[in-house]
């Protein structure tokens, strides 16, 4: 300790404290000043939210795990160039996404830097990637959920396509969040209306049918195609490489354009395959005018070129998306792939089932399943599929049409294609009580 007392930096810090020269951070940040800081840093709009807001209760544990004592949140938007995002040349669209993503992260860094200069602790979570990939795919990989925070900050509402629509800029925005340890003098409130026009153009343009007219969203369809070169799609490509017997076999599995596209994503940044829902959306004051002048022109110049684009749409075999592409988009061709959405825990199984549930495939099935997991986890679940609807509950409820008792590792190994169901049944690591055909029907509803 004596050695520490003689350190020049320690001496200087103590001298400043004794002379009353220690920097004292403000107890409360003035909202107007803070908004100016954000706009100078490059934000196009900004709002503030208290961490304790009830609507963000689910976010608080994640914020607290990443940053000590969060008190307030800055939510801001950066705008994208619309015509680049609308272009059928998706290289232009992806460039715009990546550049704006970089700019948005830079805005957050600048804001944090200015706040740190006055002694305020602040944290800027990533706009997109990088994320906490050690948690994938069983747990949430993002640190900050920007969308609910932006909604609470009055920067827009969620449209039918699940994107935030800003009242002025529409959905041609990216979102950023800065977490503060200091409260703000005035907080924003959510918009009292939704800028979404409910025009359903996102429904019409989505190549996979992920966006339904009734507001339902098929996560698996969107994830499998649009995010083909992210996360699970990349893992599926790696498995194709590993499983190929030769270069010729690899080329039979993966086309040269696909290999080039993976290379581009690895060297430049992962590329979206579509994001057409963003491209065609006419909402927002700055965006809306041409659509109101002529909906027919908007349809012909913005929507139709994306609908008619000849391209490969990546789908899981026998999925709703595969049927949708064949029915709606004759110019597009499908390719069956895996998406890497494999549960490894019971919690992940419960979260994942609704994400990969195939509503149309399930039509005609009416069954109640009781699952009893043993081994690594002791849990019971009830899964009901009826009238194209899925419900999942902890515990056993009602009368089961099929009872499944399974060793946890054996069950998830079977789902991942790593273990034989026949072997697991023979070894009684998985036991069925009821018609086995119901297990086959269950599997058809959840392809991955």
Q: What are phi and psi of 270, to 5 degrees?
A: -60, 135
Question: What pLDDT shows up at residue 11?
Answer: 87
Closest CA to 155 of 194, 116, 126, 105: 194
Q: Is the pTM of this model over 0.85?
A: yes
- Gap between the Cα atoms of 335 and 325, Å rounded: 11
Question: What pLDDT shows up at residue 254?
Answer: 95
Closest CA to 434 of 399, 408, 410, 409: 399
Question: What pLDDT shows up at residue 48?
Answer: 98
C-beta separation of 429 from 406 below 8 A:
yes
Residue 7 corresponds to which tokens in the numbers above?
Answer: 């350190």
Strand extents, DSSP E, 65-188: 72-79, 122-124, 157-158, 164-165, 173-180
Q: What are phi and psi of 381, to 5 degrees?
A: -135, 150
Mean pLDDT by 10 residues, the chain (448 residues): 87 88 90 98 98 97 95 98 96 96 98 96 92 84 96 97 97 98 98 97 97 91 94 90 95 95 92 96 98 97 97 96 95 93 90 94 95 95 95 96 95 88 91 94 92
- Gap between the Cα atoms of 174 and 97, Å rounded: 8
Question: What pLDDT shows up at residue 416?
Answer: 85
Residue-range domains of the chain with CATH: 19-180 (3.40.109), 201-336 (no CATH), 346-445 (3.30.1050.10)
CA triple 318-321-322, angle to 5 deg: 50
Closest CA to 178 of 96, 70, 280, 84: 70
Question: What pLDDT shows up at residue 138?
Answer: 76
């Amino acid at each position: 300790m004596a050695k520490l007392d003689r350190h020049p930096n320690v001496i200087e810090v103590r001298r400043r404290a004794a002379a009353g020269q220690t920097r004292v951070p403000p107890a409360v940040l003035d909202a107007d000043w803070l908004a100016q800081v954000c706009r100078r840093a490059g934000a196009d709009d900004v709002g503030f939210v208290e961490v304790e807001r009830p609507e963000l209760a689910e976010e608080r544990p994640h914020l607290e795990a990443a940053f000590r004592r969060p008190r307030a949140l800055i939510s801001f938007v950066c705008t994208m160039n619309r015509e680049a995002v609308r272009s059928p040349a998706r290289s232009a669209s992806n460039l715009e996404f990546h550049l704006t993503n970089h700019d948005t992260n830079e805005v957050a860094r600048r804001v944090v830097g200015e706040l740190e200069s006055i002694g305020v602790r602040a944290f800027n979570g990533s706009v997109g990637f990088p994320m906490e990939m050690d948690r994938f795919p069983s747990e949430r990989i993002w640190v900050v959920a920007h969308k609910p925070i932006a909604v609470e900050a009055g920067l827009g509402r969620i449209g039918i396509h699940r994107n935030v629509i800003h009242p002025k800029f529409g959905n041609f925005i990216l979102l950023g969040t800065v977490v503060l340890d200091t409260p703000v003098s005035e907080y924003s409130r959510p918009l009292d209306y939704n800028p979404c026009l409910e025009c359903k153009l996102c429904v019409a343009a989505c190549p996979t049918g992920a966006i339904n007219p009734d507001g339902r969203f098929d996560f698996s369809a969107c994830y499998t195609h649009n995010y083909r070169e992210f996360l699970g799609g990349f893992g599926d490509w790696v498995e194709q490489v590993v499983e190929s017997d030769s270069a010729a076999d690899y080329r039979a599995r993966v086309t040269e354009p696909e290999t080039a596209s993976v290379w581009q994503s690895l060297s430049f940044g992962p590329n979206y395959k579509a994001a057409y829902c963003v491209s065609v959306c006419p909402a927002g004051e700055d965006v809306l005018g041409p659509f109101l002048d002529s909906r027919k022109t908007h349809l012909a110049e913005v929507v139709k070129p994306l609908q008619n684009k000849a391209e490969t749409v990546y789908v899981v075999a026998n999925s709703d998306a595969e049927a949708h592409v064949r029915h709606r988009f004759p110019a597009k061709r499908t390719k069956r792939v895996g998406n890497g959405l494999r549960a490894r825990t019971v919690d992940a199984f419960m979260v994942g089932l609704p994400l990969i549930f195939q509503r149309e495939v399930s039509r005609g099935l009416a069954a109640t399943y009781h699952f009893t997991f043993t081994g690594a986890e002791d849990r019971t679940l009830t899964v009901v599929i009826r009238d194209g609807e899925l419900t999942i509950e902890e515990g056993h409820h009602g009368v089961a049409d099929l009872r499944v008792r399974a060793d946890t590792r054996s069950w998830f190994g079977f789902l991942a294609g790593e273990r034989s169901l026949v072997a697991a049944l023979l070894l009684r690591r998985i036991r069925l009580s009821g018609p086995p055909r119901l297990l086959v029907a269950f599997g058809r509803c959840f392809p991955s």
